[in-house]
A and B are shown apart, each in its own frame.
Chain A
């Protein structure tokens, strides 16, 4: 497994327990989604993978290396993160935000080619190349955030609520991109509240319940056979039309 989370407990400060005993894994080239309501601990788990939230107990490993070790670097591990807030630098232009995505790379010629690749994928970014990122709409900012994350040429892409609050047409575009990346062999952990769309495109899914407990995991069909999951989601995942 590329990403393995074993019996992880995470907390904010000394009292707020965000995740209690969560275990999950993501294999090479898999698209795995993490589904759950607000406060289920999904984003906290992603932050822990990025080393932004300390692991109180349990372990998180990327290619066998613990994210808690001092030598761990998400950049070296090839982990790229699109946070829920998108993390766009408002004072930078679209072009500068994109260039920042490749700031660690030395292969300048390939970087230029990869930027071109992302501009092909998200043409609106070419149109607004010199525009201040703060002037973009939410959907345009999300496209910029994903393009920037992809400029790292990551092995593992962590997408945290990439369609939250976006127009349906942009949601379609984002899911199309996610599916295309999956088909190119990228390993993806997708955090989403849009359970139906996530189940449609994912190889496997984990259903998380507050505080960060796995209620069930598996393919849409397997989740559909779990009464607790069906009750929690309010529909049977087995009825979702899987598009893969």
Chain B
């Protein structure tokens, strides 16, 4: 029972951490609060629907391709011309991109919510140390955990990661040292595309459906988790997302059935309490780049 809960809580925490890193990375590098993030998740989720009859790993690969392409196209068409714009302009542009992509999906391929039959292997349960564990929870944990490790390696061990972290902290200083905007900004969008695709694929597997507005809630989770952890710190954002996911799983397990509907009210009350004490987030960095 405890092991099953732990796998569920840590898996959901890892999923939310992925979502928050995607939000915090673009905010740091570009000063962009990207509300179109939900539509990147949608692009990945739609690929899972489109390739639902193909082997799951292939559909996952296509989800990554779809989300990365949408991320890069949105960067090139909408955000690249606005690179020197103020954060409010960027935010409004991201709203426009979000609504445009959502409307496009609704008008063309997703006029209504589509069911995606669960992969047979994901609906199985396995016994681990005597506990009855869902394969879906296990896959969520392993996939999102692996992605977090890859992101941690990329950001901590590679030259690109160092450049991204430097650009996220002080873009002007990083540029004066030779960090190229044309490298780090598209790279950030590619990473965000990959993260949102993994998030989208896991969400489709958990929900069993794809709808044009399905990106809204995970996008909000990403924003809230990033604010909780500290927008200026990728580690903080990941921690914020993880705590949000783990707390969600905890409340689902502990709350009486008639109070489950109020789960988010409990969750966000706790969030407000945390932000009253630490308005800069749990692990804020030296500063937040807002202009």
Stretch at the interface among A88-96, A118-126, A199-207, A221-229: A88-96
Minimum distance in angstroms from B217 CB to a CB of chain A = 30
The 0/1 profile, CB within 8 Å of A marked 1, for residues 133-166 of chain B is: 0000000000000000000000000010011011
C-alpha spacing A158/B218, complex, angstroms? 47
Interface string of A51-92 (1 = CB under 8 A from B): 010000000000000000000001100000101000101111
Choice from A52, A74, A103, A148 contacting B179 with Cβ under 8 Å: A103
**For A186, what are the chain B residues with a Cβ–Cβ distance below 8 Å?**
none
Closest 7 pairs between A and B when the two form their complex, measured CB to CB: A104-B178, A90-B286, A87-B173, A75-B178, A89-B166, A96-B162, A89-B169
Q: Show the binding face of A for B, using Cβ within 8 Å.
A: 50, 52, 74-75, 81, 83, 87, 89-92, 96, 99-101, 103-104, 134, 148, 152
CB distance from B78 to the nearest CB of A (A): 24
Assess whether B275 is interfacial by the CB under 8 Å rule.
no
Residue-wise, chain B 266-291 has the 8 Å CB interface mask toward A (1 for contact) of 00000000000000000001100000
A52-B172, A100-B162 given; A91·B233 CB < 8 A: yes
The residue in chain A whose Cβ has the minimal distance to the Cβ of B232 is: A91
**Which residues in B have some Cβ–Cβ distance to A below 8 Å?**
159, 162-163, 165-166, 168-170, 172-174, 176-179, 233, 285-286
How far, in Å, is A142 (CB) from chain B's closest CB?
15
Tell me which residues across on chain A come within 8 A of B285, comparing CB atoms. Answer: 90-91
Q: Which residues of the other chain, B, contact A103 by a CB distance below 8 angstroms?
A: 159, 162-163, 177-179
Q: A92-B165, A99-B162, A100-B179 are in contact. Are A83 and B173 (CB under 8 A)?
A: yes
CB contacts (< 8 Å) of B174 on chain A: these are 89, 100
Instruction: Looking at the assembled complex, report how far the CB atom of B43 sits from the nearest CB atom of chain A, in whole angstroms.
Output: 30
Question: B interface, by DSSP: helix, strand, loop or mixed?
Answer: helix
Least Cβ–Cβ distance between B174 and chain A, in angstroms: 7
Question: Can you name the residue of chain B whose Cβ is closest to the Cβ of A103?
Answer: B178
C-alpha spacing A148/B166, complex, angstroms: 13
- Cα A52 to Cα B173 in complex, Å, equals 10
Q: Are B176 and A92 in contact (CB under 8 A)?
A: no
Residues of A within 8 A of B163 (CB): 100, 103
Q: Say whether A89 contacts B172, CB under 8 Å.
A: no
A147 vs B168: C-alpha distance when bound (angstroms): 22
Residues of A within 8 Å of B176, CB to CB, are 50, 52, 74, 81, 87
- Contact in complex: B178, A89 (CB < 8 Å): no
Specify the chain B residue showing the minimal Cβ separation from A149: B177
A101 and B172 CA atoms in complex are apart in Å by: 14
Given contact pairs A87-B173, A92-B166, A100-B162, enumerate 6 new A-B contacts (beta carbons under 8 Å): A50-B176, A89-B165, A91-B286, A92-B169, A96-B165, A100-B177
CB-CB under 8 A from A75, the residues of chain B are 178
How far is it, in angstroms, between the C-alpha of A87 and the C-alpha of B172 when the chains are bound? 9
Q: Is the CB of A92 within 8 A of B178?
A: no
Bound Cα distance from A79 to B209, whole angstroms? 56
Question: Would you give the shortest CB distance from A150 to chain B, in whole angstroms?
Answer: 12
Q: A103-B178, A104-B178 are in contact. Are A89 and B159 (CB under 8 A)?
A: no
The residues of B that contact A134 with a CB separation of less than 8 Å are 286
A140 to chain B, nearest CB (A): 16
Which one of B168, B177, B233, B286 has the highest number of Cβ atoms from chain A below 10 Å of its Cβ?
A: B177
Complex contacts, B165 vs chain A, CB 8 Å = 89, 91-92, 96
Bound-complex Cα distance A31 to B168 (A): 34
Cα of A90 to Cα of B159 in the assembled complex, Å: 17
B153 → chain A closest CB, angstroms: 14
Residues of A within 8 A of B169 (CB): 89-92
- Contact between chains at B170 and A89 (CB < 8 Å): yes
